[in-house]
Amino acid sequence: MTHSRPSDPVRWRRDFPLLSQRVHGQPLIYLDNAATTQKPRVVVEAISRFYKTSNANVHRGSHALSAQATTAFEQARTTLANWLGIDDPACLIWTRGTTEAINLVAQSWGRNQLRADDLILLQQSSHHANIVPWQMLAETVGARIEVIPLQPDGDLDLEAYQLLLQKRPKLIALSHVSNALGTRYPVEQLCRLGRDAGAVTLVDGAQALPHFDIDLTRFGCDFYAFSGHKLFGPSGIGALWGRRELLEQMPPWQGGGEMIRDVSFSGTTYADLPFRFEAGTPNIEGAIGLAAAIEYLQQQDRTAMERHEQTLLQHARDCCSQLKGFRELPFGSDRVSLLSFELEGFHQQDVAHWLDRHGIAIRAGHHCAMPLMRSLGLPGSLRASFAFYNRLDEAEQLASCLDQLIQSQTTSTTVAFIEQKTSQNLIKRVYSATDWNARYQALMHIGQSLPGLPDALKQDCYRLHGCESRVWLVPALDDTGRLACQADADARILRALLALLLDRINGLTPAELLSTDLGAVLDQLDIRRHLSPSRGNGVAAIIQAIEAFARDPRG
């Protein structure tokens, strides 16, 4: 095994072509690794080589190319199995990712084994992928769900867990590492306790394997799920490992080719493990690409990588903790290199947008952990997630860019205050700006100075759905039958867009509005190019709601 020099992110970085990209004219600082990781060149090349030299369908071919593809595909399974300490590769089932792996267990094991009133334990901080499939199952079979809470410091509440175990749960679905907080939970211990209490345990390892190696033979869970794309491999591939004795009892959950032994109209018999769970043509190049990613990791010193990630995390914390209004979410006593935080006075979406303009990619929102965010009383957080290829100066730039945002808002408060009475001037500034930076500044000033909706109007009936942020639209006509709408949002950029739209529509008759192309207003300002697609969908939802009101104002 060749080890790279320890703590050598510069060298690791060179293996990842995408990291030298520029975004909005700035060098990319990619801190969204918990969403997906970048891929080393060897992964891209393995996929490309497969298509150039070995592409054929697997398992059922009767020619040399198919045999070659099958060998590569099954070798990929063995590579992953060896890496995870599994001595029986047939117990490693390819899936599209963690989500599909958990659904497989819920649909196959769960439907078959759980009965009405059986108890399923879920974890407060789990990703929706480890919540919703169990809710769907519980609805089908009439099972009950209870939740293992977190302590205020972010650690799992072990006492509460032990009390819940006394209720004899049938299934315990755990997260190895929280994707929203970064906390690493003591799943080996939790699984041991769970199994001693007679439960089957499943661990969602999506956020764990990108940071450290595990040995599944000694781990103690019954099922372990993970995704390739978070593990420096391709999208659309992942796996489920399960104990043979459980997998053998489980019926297939999807039918089709590849998973059968014999089919006739009087009945079908199924193939052995793992194929009975792999209906249809699999993601062959995905498996091969993922194996290349694992081989890449095996050639590195993972302990040095982990050490570097922890240094990055600590450095980011040191730099950011100096910032006014910076507050970390609770993260427990052990965590991976993930910083989940809020910036007081700023909506997360505005912060993420600001950072993006400076080339820094982070994630803002609920991170598919809505029950967790609700329990923390937050709509979401900002999440900077580091991989071994990130550099210390990138952590510094994150902090310095956040600082610039804080400073710019301190100065702009005065500007916004002075200009509040002359918001037409601000609107003019948006339209006359010659570049996006100037336009963005003007938009942020508008977003800050737009008078807010009174709380009494921030009701559910005025909430628009389909937006990442909370948006309210109060549609109304004045005495003369002209539009007099009000609106508000909790993200500044959306408040600004609402202000522009209201400026354009209020005072029009509904008929005049319907002959106005509101989308063109945004296109004229080139706004859509700079918004994330989900933010763009939010704006589209606002326009649709305004138009629906104009079509039927009394409806």
To ligand PMP, the closest distance from the beta carbon of 150 in angstroms equals 15
173 near ligand PMP, judged by CB under 6 A: no
To ligand PMP, the closest distance from the beta carbon of 48 in angstroms equals 23
To ligand PMP, the closest distance from the beta carbon of 448 in angstroms equals 32
| Segment interacting with ligand PMP, rule: CB under 6 A, options 95-103, 215-223, 416-424, 457-465 | 95-103
467 is catalytic: no
State how far the Cα of 400 lies from the Cα of 394, in Å rounded to an integer.
10
Structural contact between residues 495 and 450, judged by C-beta atoms closer than 8 angstroms = yes
State how far the Cα of 240 lies from the Cα of 322, in Å rounded to an integer.
42
54 near ligand PMP, judged by CB under 6 A: no
State how far the Cα of 507 lies from the Cα of 513, in Å rounded to an integer.
9
Give the angle subtended at the CA of 290 by the CAs of 52 and 4, to the nearest 5°.
105
To ligand PMP, the closest distance from the beta carbon of 17 in angstroms equals 22
37 near ligand PMP, judged by CB under 6 A: no
Residue with tokens 């609700």: 374
Catalytic residue selected from 221, 368, 467, 485: 368
Q: φ, ψ for residue 226 (rounded to 5)?
A: -160, 165
Per-residue x/- mask for ligand PMP, residues 118 to 137, rule CB under 6 A? Answer: ---------x-xx-------
Q: Determine which residue in the list 38, 201, 227, 397 makes contact with ligand PMP, applying CB under 6 A.
A: 227
337 near ligand PMP, judged by CB under 6 A: no
| Segment interacting with ligand PMP, rule: CB under 6 A, options 140-148, 201-209, 259-267, 340-348 | 201-209
State how far the Cα of 470 lies from the Cα of 460, in Å rounded to an integer.
10
Q: In 446-481, which positions are buried (b, 16+ CB within 10 angstroms) versus exposed (e)?
A: bbbbbeebeeeeeeeebebeebbbbbbbbbebeeee
What are 409-412's contacts with CB under 8 Å, separation 24+?
409/345, 409/346, 409/444, 409/448, 412/441, 412/444, 412/445, 412/448
Total binding residues toward ligand PMP, as defined by CB under 6 A: 15
Positive or negative torsion for Cα 459, 464, 466, 469: negative
DSSP character for 380?
-
To ligand PMP, the closest distance from the beta carbon of 205 in angstroms equals 8
Q: Determine which residue in the list 33, 99, 283, 381 makes contact with ligand PMP, applying CB under 6 A.
A: 99
240 near ligand PMP, judged by CB under 6 A: no
332 near ligand PMP, judged by CB under 6 A: no
448 near ligand PMP, judged by CB under 6 A: no
Q: Determine which residue in the list 43, 156, 206, 355 makes contact with ligand PMP, applying CB under 6 A.
A: 206
Q: Determine which residue in the list 124, 207, 337, 390 makes contact with ligand PMP, applying CB under 6 A.
A: 207
Q: In 57-81, which positions are buried (b, 16+ CB within 10 angstroms) versus exposed (e)?
A: bbbeeeeeebebbbebbeebbebbb
Site residues (vs ligand PMP, CB under 6 A) = 97-99, 127, 129-130, 175, 179, 204, 206-207, 227, 229, 238, 368
Q: What are the residue numbers of the active site?
A: 368
